[in-house]
A and B are shown apart, each in its own frame.
Chain A
């Protein structure tokens, strides 16, 4: 512990905590001060995340980890924070989303209810903590922090629909947290450790009669994560909650489902990699199958969506499913592609949630449902619209929003030239490029799922887009302020940046995937060598 650079690792947790605490002290009345504090904190988080990204990548080797020991206790006694490439990537995504959501809310949403600013800060703190921690129980604590904040954010703005969806959301997540606790205590009871790296080291040495119980415990843990990631049979809570949440809250919630994916990615590759002895590869087929089913369900939901918010919720399902299926394939190249997909789909979906609110502002309630019904039953198209339309055919605001919408559509559907296409290509290419003789059925299934879900997204987005942008304007064009358009532009700009810099970014993702698939580096980084020999006996 020397030098300020070492303490940089804990800063993403401390900064929002301090900012949130100060906001609580300042009180709800001083909104300007709260907003300024929030902006300062989220901007600091973006800078920090970029610095940590450089730090994680700077070491050059594949197995670069930075360990921060809280209270300077050695890893097995104290809790450690671990920064590696994956955590740094997630931190950067969170920081960008946080900044965008906050900037968007400043136009009007932060006045819609109490304590928006502190809740957002605590949400960011929980997310950052969950991405950084190297301890299973600490992960639970940060999960609860981010969930508690997300309950508040999901309910922000109140209203019957939000509260009703919020009730289901809270109930599901409380039940999932209980599963998490059961799993953690089973794992501790068998292995005697809560440190992820230590657990990975002990996987191979678990006695044969205990192995089934340990695997069962970890499977329950997996279910708890998959509820958060909204895998098919346990993900029905997601579309209503996200559709009901206010726009900035939905944007930040869109990374919440990726926390579950992150936890699966981290723990599954760490614990069930090649080093795990008899347990290696445990549950991989389930992950792939569950991911494929989630894509199928998400695709159906995308096609069935009667309004744009539901459409966005359904595309969260598709992206979760894609990630899970790709992780389950357990190939270095595929994981690298999946990480690129993660980095591209999270900002795209968040931008979509923000955009929806802007587009919907100018339209009467229920227009979407009417439009879909009209399509289905072939009612009369334009009842009395024959009066000549004078003036600008498409107002400038609508043109800008339409461009943004098109960008989101391209990204979500995975069409060239934007990063969504590159991501899907990067996932599929290693599956088919590896062996000349015969491609596995799973690879074909994943290919079909990705292409079909993309097609469904195009169909649904085109339908929604035609209705929103090519219809004759019902009233005034929605009034959009620059501060609301800028976050959408920022998020889409991140995706464009990913496209332009695809080479270096893909290199980073591949290095991340290599170190995830070779967890020895992570374990050795957390537990220094002399200690490793002593503990291996158990």
Chain B
């Protein structure tokens, strides 16, 4: 479980960083989205990872603090998802404005010569 999550975060981060460093605005926004998925998974995983555990309570068992996942990272990740979504949408607007004003999708607003 840990290995799968760690690999997923790593692959998402790697692809995200590579895309953010590319020269087209669309690649940058996809890169930032991948990075934010990686970060969200990472936050989620700090609450503890378990497989095969009951969602809240085992049938007939008394509740015990040790069997619950930490709820705070889940609250954090919800907030992070909402904020990330909103700011990415904002970035999309700026991206379209740049495309409209400069006529190119290069991040510097002009094609490199040569």
Query: 8 Å CB contacts to A: which residues of B93-114?
Result: 94-95, 97-98, 101-102, 107-109
B32 touches A174 (CB 8 A): yes
A164 touches B35 (CB 8 A): no
CA distance A193 to B76 in the complex (A): 12
A502 within 8 A of B: no
A143-156 interface bits toward B, Cβ cutoff 8 Å, 1 = contact, 0 = none: 01001100100010
A141 touches B79 (CB 8 A): yes
Q: Hey, which chain B residues are within 8 Å of A174, CB to CB?
A: 32, 36, 87-88, 91
CA distance A174 to B33 in the complex (A): 10
Which one of A151, A159, A181 contacts B90 once the chains associate, using CB atoms below 8 Å?
A151
From A90-98, A165-173, A376-384, the one touching the partner chain is A165-173
A144 touches B87 (CB 8 A): yes
A185 touches B73 (CB 8 A): yes
A160 touches B46 (CB 8 A): no
Q: Which 7 A-B pairs have the closest CB atoms?
A: A189-B46, A164-B109, A185-B43, A185-B46, A160-B101, A144-B83, A163-B97
Q: Hey, which chain A residues are within 8 Å of B108, CB to CB?
A: 164
CA distance A168 to B79 in the complex (A): 24
CA distance A186 to B88 in the complex (A): 23
CA distance A151 to B90 in the complex (A): 8
Q: Hey, which chain A residues are within 8 Å of B83, CB to CB?
A: 141, 144, 177
Q: Hey, which chain A residues are within 8 Å of B32, CB to CB?
A: 171, 174-175, 178
Given contacts A160-B101, A185-B43, contact A148 B86 (CB under 8 A): yes
How many residues of B are counted as interface, with CB atoms below 8 angstroms from the partner's CB atoms? Answer: 31
CA distance A178 to B13 in the complex (A): 11
Given contacts A164-B108, A177-B87, A178-B35, contact A184 B76 (CB under 8 A): yes
CA distance A159 to B98 in the complex (A): 9
Query: 8 Å CB contacts to B: which residues of A201-234?
Result: none
Given contacts A163-B101, A171-B32, contact A181 B43 (CB under 8 A): yes
A188 touches B39 (CB 8 A): no
Q: Say which size band chain A's interface belongs to.
A: 20 to 34
A164 touches B98 (CB 8 A): yes
A186 touches B28 (CB 8 A): no
CA distance A160 to B94 in the complex (A): 11
Which one of B39, B86, B98 contacts A178 once the chains associate, using CB atoms below 8 Å?
B39
A122-158 interface bits toward B, Cβ cutoff 8 Å, 1 = contact, 0 = none: 0000000000000001000100100110010001001
B91 touches A170 (CB 8 A): yes
B50-80 interface bits toward A, Cβ cutoff 8 Å, 1 = contact, 0 = none: 0000000000000000000000110010011
* Additional 16 contacts, C-beta under 8 A, given A148-B90, A164-B108, A167-B91: A141-B79, A147-B87, A148-B86, A160-B101, A163-B97, A167-B107, A170-B94, A171-B28, A171-B107, A174-B32, A177-B87, A178-B35, A182-B39, A185-B43, A188-B73, A188-B76
A175 touches B35 (CB 8 A): yes
A155 touches B46 (CB 8 A): no
Q: Hey, which chain A residues are within 8 Å of B86, CB to CB?
A: 148
CA distance A181 to B35 in the complex (A): 11
CA distance A166 to B107 in the complex (A): 11
CA distance A186 to B95 in the complex (A): 32
Q: How many Å from the CB of A202 to the closest CB on chain B?
A: 15
Q: Hey, which chain A residues are within 8 Å of B36, CB to CB?
A: 174, 178
CA distance A161 to B79 in the complex (A): 33
B46 touches A167 (CB 8 A): no
B87 touches A171 (CB 8 A): no
A194 within 8 A of B: yes
CA distance A166 to B90 in the complex (A): 11
CA distance A188 to B70 in the complex (A): 11
A168 touches B46 (CB 8 A): no
CA distance A493 to B88 in the complex (A): 41
Q: How many Å from the CB of B37 to the closest CB on chain A?
A: 10
Q: Hey, which chain B residues are within 8 Å of A151, CB to CB?
A: 90, 94
Given contacts A164-B102, A164-B109, A171-B91, contact A194 B42 (CB under 8 A): no
CA distance A315 to B36 in the complex (A): 33
B94 touches A163 (CB 8 A): yes
CA distance A171 to B107 in the complex (A): 10
Point out which of B73, B95, B109 has the most chain A C-beta atoms below 10 A from its C-beta. Answer: B109
Q: How many Å from the CB of A530 to the closest CB on chain B?
A: 22
B42 touches A185 (CB 8 A): yes
